[in-house]
Every structure is written in C-alpha cells, then in structure tokens.
Amino acid sequence: MTVAYPVVFAAIFVCGIGGTFHYGYSVSVMTSPSVFIKELVKQTCVQRYGLSLEPWQLSLIWSFTVSIFCIGGLLGSLTAGSLASKFGRKRCLLLNTFVAILGSVLMLLSKTAMSFEMIMAGRFFFGINSGASLAVYPMYVMEIAPRKLKGIVGVFIGSFMSLGKFSGQLLGISELLGTEKLWPWLLGFIGFTGLFQLITLFFLPESPSFLLLDRGDQRTCEKALKQLWGNKDYSREIEEMLEEKAALQSVRSYSVLELIQNKTIRWQLITVAVTFTSVQLCGINAVYFYSFDVFRAAGIPEEKLRYTALGTGLCEFSTVVFCFMIINRTGKTALLFRGYAGMSVTLVFLTITLYLQSQVSWMPYCSMVLIFLCIVFFAIGPVGVTPSLPGELFAQPFRSAAYTISCSLNWLVLFVVGMVFPILVEKLDYFCFLIFLFSCFICGLYMKFNVPEIKNKTPLEIAAEFDKMHCKPKREDVTEKYANRIISYETKL
C-alpha cells in the first residue's frame, strides 16, 4: 500500500511533522522546564522592576503563559478555514509554517533577553500555528488520499499528535534538553520541524479536490492526481469528484453562520460538535494528572517518575499506531463508541481504586493498570478517529467552515478545562472523574444510536445514511435529495 502511493504518504509525513505534531508537542513540553521558566520570571521582575513576586502572582503569570496557547489556537482555528478556501490548502500550510518559526525564534532568545514576555508571545504564535494546523492539515491529507486510504490517513492525524506529546516528554528529560542551560532549545524545537515542512512542502501538489471544486481547474487537478497516485487509471475517483462538483456546482463555500443555519446537515454538525467537545471532556487530562500520585503510591522513586510519565506518552502513541491495523476492519463509528464505552467503565473503576488507595496496600497497582487501560481506549477511539471527521462528514462547500467550528470548539473547551480543572481537583479530588465519566457515557450513546458507519464513504453517501437513520424517506433517493436541498438553500440565500 505504501509503495503504491509514495507521494501521498510523503505528504502525510511532511504535513504531520509540521502540523498536528506541533499541537501535541506544545501541550506536553511546558511541564519539564516549568521550574526554570518561573525562575526567569522572578529574576526578570527583580532586575527590571525591583519587585519580588508573591507566590500567587507567580502562579498567575505562569497560568497565563500556559493558557495563552489556547487563545492563539482559537484565533488560528477561526482564520484557517477562510484562508484555506481562499488561498488553497498547501499555501495556507506554507504561510502557517512561518508562524511556527517566528514563535521558535522568540523562545530561543527569551533567556538571553531576560524576557518572559517573549515566551508568552512564542506560546501565542505556537497556538496560532497549532490551531491552523488542526484545521488545514486534516483537510489537506483527507483530500489528497484515495478513498481506500482515508481510514488510515485519519489515524495518521492522531498519530502525529500523540508523537508530539511523547516527544515533548522525551526531550524534556534532564539527559536531553530539560536542563537549565538548554530549556530554550526545548521550547523552540518545533521551529526546526516547521523549517523542515517549509522546505519539503514546495515539492508537494495542491489538493486535487480544491483545484477542481473550488478553482474549477480540471487540468491541474488531473496533474496533481498523477503526481499523488501515479500514472494509473483513477478515473473512478475523478468521476466521483466531478459528480460532487455537478451536484453542488451552484453552491459556493459556506460561512460558519450559514453552516450552522443549514438544516440539511444538522446531524453532521451535531456529530462534530459532540465528538470534538468530548475529546477534551473525556478526562484524559485528569488521568495524566493523577498518574504521578498513583505511581508514587506504587513505590516508584520520585526521581524516576518522569521516566514513568514517558510510559504513558509511549502507550498513547503506540496504541494510535495500532489503530492502523484495525480501523478498516472495525470501522470509525464503532471505534469511537468502543473507545468512549471503554473509558466510561475504566473511569468508574479508577475512581473506586483511587478512593481505596490509602486503605488497601495493593490498590495503587490496580490504579496503574487502569490508567494505562484508559489511555489505550482514548488513543484507539477519540484520538485515532476524531481529527478527520469534518473532512469525511462534509462536502467541499461546507468543509472549511466545518473545520473552523470543530477546531474552535476544541480550543474553547481545552481552555475552559485548563482553567476549571485545578478547581475541580481541589474541591472534588478523584471524584472529578465522575464528571468526565458522564461526558464519555453521553458521547458513547450518541455514537451508538445516532451516527452511521462512515468507513470508505463519500460525504454524499454519509449524508444519505444520516437521512435513512433519522428521516427514513421511502421513495426519494436521499443522495439526490441531499444535493437538491443544498442547492435550494443556496438559492434562498
């Protein structure tokens, strides 16, 4: 399979290592150098203002430094969709690379300049880069991949995200870049992956779907397909894009507001909203948070805890990679349901074992097993499937707006969880898992009873399945009905 489509897989790697990899890396990398960054903040305030910070002031500055990443991510998500529709997927990715490099330069110079504000600015630019990448990278790779590869291509998106998390943990150990001298290089590392993407992306073609459906350039589209898929007969795939173009020829790209108002794709929009919200509310951050306490209670020495944390990141990454073997056989909707159902059961038992941890000597070991099991369920369902959903559920006119909505929801919920989670831990302790359990349970039920299987289907076919499941038309062909309803809505506008 990989031999048949070498350019497709090269594009997936190039865009992944400079795309969703940045999101995962930025999420995990701040843990290791936190002591050094806080020390820089204190020294800067003393030297510049003669001010010795109170503990609460230092915590406030630190929280803002971490959280500004989400603000940048939201901004990147809100602008990426329109930029991708106007300039193209490839050009948008190229422009986004410069944002990552700029953020990296600020990080590398922050210690020399004695400026923690440069770290804040760098985190903000990294957020913009990650927000745009989460929207445009899945859009691009889903459009360049042939139908039979779309299932595993979606898993690649989650794989690079998990690889980024693991890389941030790995490079942050003291034997590598997690030292007082090298921590600016740890924070600025993704500038090098961004530079790699900038150099190599020039050799890759634009999305054939964008060229044909948005630009109306069939000749360049066919040239891009030959570069991506080889000099073989892929007339069926070209014909499918032409059918989509014919069905939606009078429809322009939709704005976010128009997408929300359009009732013809209401269930697809609800599905994206539920899944992208649940992926942040499923409790995985709480699992990682309590893992140190569990490992410490199990007798692991304090100086070894950071290496144990590497095990959790490696567990997530390896499980996402395992998805490649089962996703085409199992199906995406089924994986999402099983992932959230498995997390629901695991969180119930994890709450019980944490409650009994101080009373039963062997209970921490049960908690350790449950932590890794919860990470497995998270990686095999939510991480492996969710990022690519908007590109599979929505036709070309809706795709950019769909990615804008889904990624904006992701960043908003991530920001809220980051702000509220410390309060939940303080007030509820390990019973906070019950809140996340409710989210997993609801999402699992929704996937089971409201979403059809989407494996190896076009957006029009998926729309027909949604109509069969919820509207149950008897005579009219639902695929034709879907296209006609879209055109009818456009006429009203």
Q: Tell me, what's the pLDDT at 424?
A: 79
Q: Which residue has tokens 């790779």? A: 141
Q: 138-160 pLDDT, tens per residue? A: 889 988 988 777 767 777 888 89
Mean pLDDT within 371-384:
88
Mean pLDDT within 390-413:
87
**Measured on CA atoms in the order 389, 93, 64, 306, is the torsion positive or negative?**
positive
Q: Which two tokens stand for residue 76?
A: 């990147």
Distance CA 26, CA 126 (A): 7
Q: 30-70 pLDDT, tens per residue? A: 888 888 999 999 999 999 888 888 888 888 888 888 889 98
What average pLDDT is seen over the chain? 85
Distance CA 409, CA 18 (A): 22
Mean pLDDT within 260-267:
88
The segment with the largest mean pLDDT, out of 119-128, 130-139, 386-395, is 119-128
For residue 68, give the nearest of 127, 6, 130, 3 by alpha carbon. 127
Alpha-carbon distances, residue 293 vs 59, 170, 288, 473 (angstroms): 21, 20, 10, 54
Mean pLDDT within 465-472:
80
Residue 150 CB neighbour total at 10 angstroms: 23
Instruction: Provide the pLDDT confidence category of residue 248 given band limits of 50, 70 and 90.
Output: low
Distance CA 258, CA 270 (A): 15
- State the CATH class of domain 1-204: mainly alpha
Q: Which of 207-216, 420-429, 453-462 has the lowest mean pLDDT?
A: 420-429
User: Any alpha helices (H) in 50-115, and if so which ranges?
Assistant: 55-87, 89-110
Distance CA 369, CA 381 (A): 19
Distance CA 242, CA 245 (A): 5
Distance CA 54, CA 62 (A): 12
Question: Would you say 183 and 33 are in contact if contact means Cβ atoms under 8 Å apart?
Answer: yes
Q: Tell me, what's the pLDDT at 182?
A: 94
Distance CA 125, CA 73 (A): 8
Kindly give, in sequence order, each residue whose CB lies less than 8 Å from that of residue 255, ignoring residues fewer than 6 positions away. 401
Domain boundaries of the chain, sorted by first residue: 1-204, 265-483
Residues of the chain with pLDDT > 70, as a percent, come to 91
The segment with the largest mean pLDDT, out of 114-128, 233-247, 430-444, is 114-128
Distance CA 149, CA 142 (A): 9
Report which of residues 435 and 237 the model is more confident about: 435
Residue 475 has pLDDT above 50, yes or no: no
Q: Which of 114-123, 189-198, 250-259 has the lowest mean pLDDT?
A: 250-259
Alpha-carbon distances, residue 158 vs 285, 320, 383 (angstroms): 16, 7, 5
Report the C-alpha dihedral over residues 388, 391, 392, 398, rounded to 10 degrees: 150
* DSSP class per residue in 358-379: TT-TTHHHHHHHHHHHHHHHHI
Mean pLDDT within 358-384:
87
Report which of residues 255 and 187 the model is more confident about: 187
Residue 92 has pLDDT above 90, yes or no: yes
Residue 2 has pLDDT above 50, yes or no: no
Q: 303-362 pLDDT, tens per residue? A: 777 787 788 888 888 888 887 777 777 888 999 999 999 999 999 998 898 888 878 888
Q: Spell 420-458 as b/e; 16+ CB within 10 A means b.
A: ebeebeeeeebebbeebbebbbbbbebbeeebbebbebb
Distance CA 155, CA 324 (A): 7
Q: What is the pTM for the complete model shown?
A: 0.82
Report which of residues 171 and 302 the model is more confident about: 171
Residue 478 has pLDDT above 60, yes or no: no
Q: Tell me, what's the pLDDT at 289?
A: 64
Distance CA 419, CA 401 (A): 27
Q: Which two tokens stand for residue 28?
A: 């995990």
Q: At 27, phi and psi to the nearest 5?
A: -70, -40
Distance CA 111, CA 172 (A): 17
**Measured on CA atoms in the order 337, 338, 339, 342, is the torsion positive or negative?**
positive
Q: Tell me, what's the pLDDT at 276?
A: 93
Instruction: Provide the pLDDT confidence category of residue 490 given band limits of 50, 70 and 90.
Output: very low
Mean pLDDT within 474-483:
49
Residues of the chain with pLDDT > 90, as a percent, come to 34
Residue 239 has pLDDT above 60, yes or no: yes
Question: What SS3 state is found at 7?
Answer: helix
Helix (H) or strand (E) holding 400: helix 396-428
Q: Which residue has tokens 């600015």? A: 121
Mean pLDDT within 425-434:
81
Q: Which fold has domain 265-483?
A: Growth Hormone; Chain: A; (1.20.1250)
Burial of 90 (0-12, 13-18, 19+ CB in 10 A): buried
Distance CA 197, CA 220 (A): 23
Question: Would you say 102 and 59 are in contact if contact means Cβ atoms under 8 Å apart?
Answer: no
Q: Tell me, what's the pLDDT at 336?
A: 92
The segment with the largest mean pLDDT, out of 101-110, 400-409, 448-457, is 101-110
Q: 157-176 pLDDT, tens per residue? A: 888 988 999 999 899 888 89
Residue 376 CB neighbour total at 10 angstroms: 20
Question: What SS3 state is found at 300?
Answer: coil
